[in-house]
Structure 1
Amino acid sequence: MRALVTGGAGFIGSTLVKRLAASPGIAEVRALDDLSTGYRSILAGHEDLLREGSILDADALEDAVRGVDAVVHLAAIPSVPRSIAQPLASHEANATGTLRVLEAARAAGVGQVIVASSSSVYGANPRLPKDEFDWTRPLSPYAVSKLATEGYAIAYGHSYDMTTLAFRFFNVYGPGQAAGHAYAAVIPKFLEAALAGRPVEIHGDGRQSRDFTYVDTVCEVIETALAEQIGSPDPVNLAYGTPTTLLDLLALLEDALGHPVERTHVDSRRGDVRASQADGERVRALFGGVTPVELPEGLAATVDWFRNGGAAGQR
């Protein structure tokens, strides 16, 4: 199999590219990234797989999909706060970009497309845990763009006899997720501050919960989907029903770091949801051979990566 990973120089994308490059079932893997939020250095040892270009560039996209059997579409402008500051850019990259990827794949005769949606699509729905058939009510432009991402993928599967799969990612974390930018995710942001001896900044009371999923678990699920040609007419939550409050997360980080972490509370962020938890049933049913990495183990590996300077080159 020949596979293309869009957003291949990003956090999840680069981890997946390296995993697929070592997979005996993958004859060729390509990474497409415009390096607007990704880093060439994150592909150390695999830089030759990178094709620098945007999914909004028709020529670059046409060249990247030519001859591949599957596309894993991870390219996006991430972050709820970023989308609130720049809604048009988020829409262009995430919604229009997905449509362009799907159309390029269809034109090239690509048989399988996997896309990354987000738990943020549930938005105002208070039910916990959430399954894929619960109603959605996005609270940010980012969440709207991700609902469009999965909707387009599912529609292409129905309309063009293409094998498609839309994963709703829940707070993916792990080595490779840098903190050196304004819209960093919570775990790298906490770690960067703690290792520098600064207080970590908590938005709100810290009792908001997230369903954290280790990046290697995510990539193992995607690799399995490629190997077994798994598709779905409905979205799939890629999380295992392990909600953790930010205060509990800090306690686990203190264990991994071996010392207390000072913290300070600031105002809640607009667009954030209070609680996020998947029921984990469909992902376990479809990918029963995958054993998710537990949060303490994943945090320990992430702390080691930060301590060993892994984030230094991602600025």
Structure 2
Amino acid sequence: MTEQQLEILNNKRILITGGAGFIGSNLCETLLINNIQVVCLDNFSSGKLENIEPFLKNKLFKLIKGDIRNLEDCKAACNNIDYVLHQAALGSVPRSIKDPITTNDVNVSGFLNILVAARDAGVKRFVYAASSSTYGDHEALPKVEETIGKPLSPYAITKYVNELYADVFHTTYNFDTIGLRYFNVFGKRQDPNGAYAAVIPKFIQQFINHESPIINGDGSYSRDFTYIDNVIQININALTTSNKDALNTIYNVAFGEETTLLELTSLLKSYLSEFDSEINNVEIKHTTNRAGDIPHSLASIEKAKKLLNYHPNYNIKNGLKEAINWYWENLKKQK
């Protein structure tokens, strides 16, 4: 964080919804390290107390156990707040296909609740997690913010609705927002367990346990994998930018590099084998493609570079090395 950013955020209170989750807890940590006041709102449906346990004794940190589906919880959380980093959501395309109603309740109704509460509390800026799933069936690569297709899952629909609400709140109430379309974020504290675990932590855990990772399809599907520190950088930039042209729009958050699932598993196997040579012998298995999955995802990050001064430092390779070091240490402790 730059001195100028620290000066802007000094003595400000920042609400992080979903602050006990993977991305939220990393944002909490970065702000607290820089002596910035943080309020965390989480209902612990997917967030974990262990993610924020080190912060609980910090005088600059406040935890509110609440649910964004409850407007009163949102109002309480937004009291005396200067900025909001809205990370709370029910992620996962497959989960949304299985249970679209709950996904909609959290991601649409919950989003509207926190948006209204932030507006009514006089919050200066509302930065929210959008999603690359919004590009839907639009096939052109790289993905450019102003051109999207039809959503392919209930989850994608909910995240697009968030963007529409944010735009309306700016035009109707003059309320400043910035949406960040995350592309396959990975890094420390991302949960490897559960039916809807993200691919990187799940595969890392399986390799460590000498279990075969299962790739959906032939492995040719590709993603723009984005290390957590890149995501933290653009969130802080979005909070602190003084560029009026950068407000009330959407940005891709990625590295701008395509990696197939076969390439990913090869990198994981190679890096993890440095810790345990037996991982070299673990077989990769395949199954059918998942419903709602887009074949390829690659972001243009030119808009974020130009307007938000976003310059990601971690590509897939050095990001994976950082993540693997963390997982090796923490998953080994659990065994």
**Shorter-chain TM-score category?**
over 0.9
Alignment correspondent of 1:11: 22
Alignment correspondent of 1:162: 175
C-alpha distance in structure 2 between counterparts of 1:310 and 1:52, whole Å:
27
More helix by share: 2
Structure 1 unaligned residues grouped into runs of 5+: none
C-alpha distance in structure 2 between counterparts of 1:132 and 1:84, whole Å:
25
Contact 1:154 1:165 (C-alpha < 8 Å) held by counterparts: no
C-alpha distance in structure 1 between counterparts of 2:145 and 2:69, whole Å:
29
C-alpha distance in structure 2 between counterparts of 1:297 and 1:44, whole Å:
27
Contact 2:255 2:315 (C-alpha < 8 Å) held by counterparts: no
1:26-45 correspondence to structure 2 within 5 Å: 26=36, 28-45=37-54
Cα RMSD of the aligned pairs, angstroms, is 1.6
Alignment correspondent of 2:276: none
Answer yes or no: is 1:53 the counterpart of 2:66.
yes
Answer yes or no: is 1:21 the counterpart of 2:36.
no
Offset at residue 311 of structure 1 (A): 8.7
1:12-32: CA deviation from partner (whole Å, max 9, x where unpaired):
0000011111225x3x11110
C-alpha distance in structure 2 between counterparts of 1:111 and 1:312, whole Å:
42
Of residues 250, 254, 267 in structure 1, which corresponds to 2:288?
267
C-alpha distance in structure 2 between counterparts of 1:166 and 1:55, whole Å:
18
Aligned partner of 1:186: which letter?
V
* CA 83–22 in structure 1, closer or farther in 2 if over 3 Å, else same: same
Alignment correspondent of 1:290: 311
Aligned partner of 1:188: which letter?
P
Alignment correspondent of 1:242: 257
C-alpha distance in structure 2 between counterparts of 1:290 and 1:31, whole Å:
27
1:81-134: CA deviation from partner (whole Å, max 9, x where unpaired):
000011000001001111111100111111110111100011111111110011
C-alpha distance in structure 2 between counterparts of 1:96 and 1:59, whole Å:
13
1:207-228: CA deviation from partner (whole Å, max 9, x where unpaired):
0000011011101110122122
C-alpha distance in structure 2 between counterparts of 1:71 and 1:3, whole Å:
6
Structure of higher CA gyration radius: 2
The percentage of counterpart residues that share the same residue type is 39
Structure 2 residue matching 1:167: 3-state secondary structure: strand
Answer yes or no: is 1:2 the counterpart of 2:13.
yes
1:121-132 correspondence to structure 2 within 5 Å: 121-132=134-145
Of residues 62, 67, 70 in structure 1, which corresponds to 2:75?
62
C-alpha distance in structure 2 between counterparts of 1:290 and 1:21, whole Å:
22
Superposed structure 1 runs of 4+ greater than 4 Å apart = 310-313
1:1-315 correspondence to structure 2 within 5 Å: 1-24=12-35, 26=36, 28-47=37-56, 49-229=62-242, 231-258=246-273, 259-260=279-280, 261-288=282-309, 290-309=311-330
Contact 1:30 1:51 (C-alpha < 8 Å) held by counterparts: yes
Aligned partner of 1:245: which letter?
T
Contact 2:18 2:89 (C-alpha < 8 Å) held by counterparts: yes
Contact 1:115 1:153 (C-alpha < 8 Å) held by counterparts: no
Offset at residue 257 of structure 1 (A): 0.8
Contact 2:271 2:321 (C-alpha < 8 Å) held by counterparts: yes
